[in-house]
Amino acid sequence: NAGVTQTPKFQVLKTGQSMTLQCAQDMNHEYMSWYRQDPGMGLRLIHYSVGAGITDQGEVPNGYNVSRSTTEDFPLRLLSAAPSQTSVYFCASSLAGTGTLSYTFGSGTRLTVV
């Protein structure tokens, strides 16, 4: 029972480079989302998806792209990395039922942009 798997765990990029943060879940959750956490702040929503083929922007979407071709995967793309994108990134999947709501988070990707 892997839950939510994020790769890589650590990454250093140079300004202007691109990369993709991977996220996969094996719980058949419809909803997936990406958050970033910066020092002294809570997690902030970047992008989210309510199902395959459907994505939308969160609170801090600039500089990031997403797509959702399958239920299991939700990659986050940085097209041209900037130092302001240095952060810890968390992917989550969620399931809503009658009277319940549950989010499961991955272990995070620590990204440094130099």
Asked whether position 84 contacts another protein by CB under 8 A, the answer is no
Q: Which is nearer to another protein, 32 or 81 (CB)?
A: 32
Place of tokens 């929503």: 45
* CA 10 remoteness from chain centre: 14
Of 17, 60, 61, 103, the residue at the interface with another protein (CB under 8 A) is 103
Of 34, 35, 64, 74, the residue at the interface with another protein (CB under 8 A) is 35
Around Cβ 20, how many Cβ atoms within 10 Å? 13
Asked whether position 27 contacts another protein by CB under 8 A, the answer is no
Shortest reach from residue 2's CB to another protein, in Å: 13
Asked whether position 4 contacts another protein by CB under 8 A, the answer is yes
Residue 103 parent element (H or E): strand 100-105
Select the span of 15-23, 44-52, 67-75, 79-87 touching another protein (CB under 8 A): 44-52
Cβ atoms of 16 and 80 closer than 8 Å: yes
Around Cβ 35, how many Cβ atoms within 10 Å? 23
Around Cβ 28, how many Cβ atoms within 10 Å? 9
Q: Which residues bind another protein (CB under 8 A)?
A: 4, 6, 31, 33, 35, 40-45, 48, 50, 58, 90, 92, 94, 96, 99-108, 110
